Structure 1
Amino acid sequence: MAFDVSAAFASAKDKSLSKLLLSAAKPFLKEFGEVVNVTINSSARTLKIEVLPLGEQESIWVELTGYALATDETGRGWLTFDQLSTSRQWLTRVAEKALPERRLKLPSATPMALLQTML
């Protein structure tokens, strides 16, 4: 059985990037709850965030499939995605209505060039 170096590197990169995104997401989402976990799979283009909402006993997850990074004409960074799903059907429907363009505005200090090379 051969060792796949590129798959091992991709897995290690995704784990490292997941930890980095976890630390970035915590302050960004703290008004809504505690970010428990962030998992990224760059080859499958999926990003999954687990959050324990304020006042709740059970965490929820949000998964973005087909994610990409984009910059608009003003230089503002966006996280775009093909599909959004959550662990709650009603929340998925709310998100679909709230995000019809399937994109999320990133904080102005987001290092877009660096993220685009990593993702």
Structure 2
Amino acid sequence: MFKTLITAAALSLAASTAAFAVDVTAGTYDVEGTNLDGSAYSGTATISLESDTTCSITWETGGTTSHGICMLYDDAFAAGYVLQDAVGLVVYKVEPGGVLEGGWTITGKSGSGTETLTLRK
């Protein structure tokens, strides 16, 4: 249980729908994504618990390292990060089985990229 980063109850869509727990686990994730120009990249991301509501995240992709702060809110997992001299934002939807599906952007650039984080077993 100490590996569980944050657990939150999801809202029920209807009274007859059972509530389910959404969580993000601290650990190492495989990264697959697309850059703003549509080209692919891959690497790893490491999520570490900082408090009962926040975490830190570090990406190692394409020979580049970026660091950020992150948090879980319902089924959304968001991180603000610094990459070289720019600030970025990524928002993921928490999917079953330790998968985070999201999109990202960075200051001074047009468009958005995509990114999937999959927890290593």
For normalisation by structure 1, the TM-score amounts to 0.43
Whose strand proportion is higher, 1 or 2?
Answer: 2
**Larger RCO (CA under 8 A, 6+ residues apart):** 2
